[in-house]
Amino acid sequence: MTQSIKMVPIGIKIGKQQLNVLAYADDIVLIGKNEKEIRQLFVETENIARKSGLHRNQRKTKYMTVEWKNSSKQSKTGQLTIKKLYI
């Protein structure tokens, strides 16, 4: 599944590598430059998982963005609630 997600041209660049997913065991971290990219990756991940017969546990799912500011807030659109962490 992570190989399919890596094909999506979204994420951050580290050196010459494009990074948009980290995975360990049954945990997946989606990485994007902004909230829009994370939402796009989420939709792609859901589609790929559904085709494989996998389902996300909504109770254990967390969404977070990190930005350079002095306050924090939450953004909710549809099923996604994204926690904004400002550093």
Q: Is the pLDDT of residue 66 over 80?
A: no
**Rounded to an integer, what distance in angstroms lies between the CA atom of residue 22 and that of residue 27?**
8
pTM of the model: 0.69
What is the model's pLDDT at position 58? Answer: 83
What is the model's pLDDT at position 87? Answer: 55
CB count within 10 Å of CB 13 equals: 9
Strands (E), the chain: 12-14, 17-19, 21-24, 27-30, 64-67, 73-77, 80-86
**Rounded to an integer, what distance in angstroms lies between the CA atom of residue 53 and that of residue 70?**
41
Comparing 42 with 62, the larger pLDDT belongs to: 42
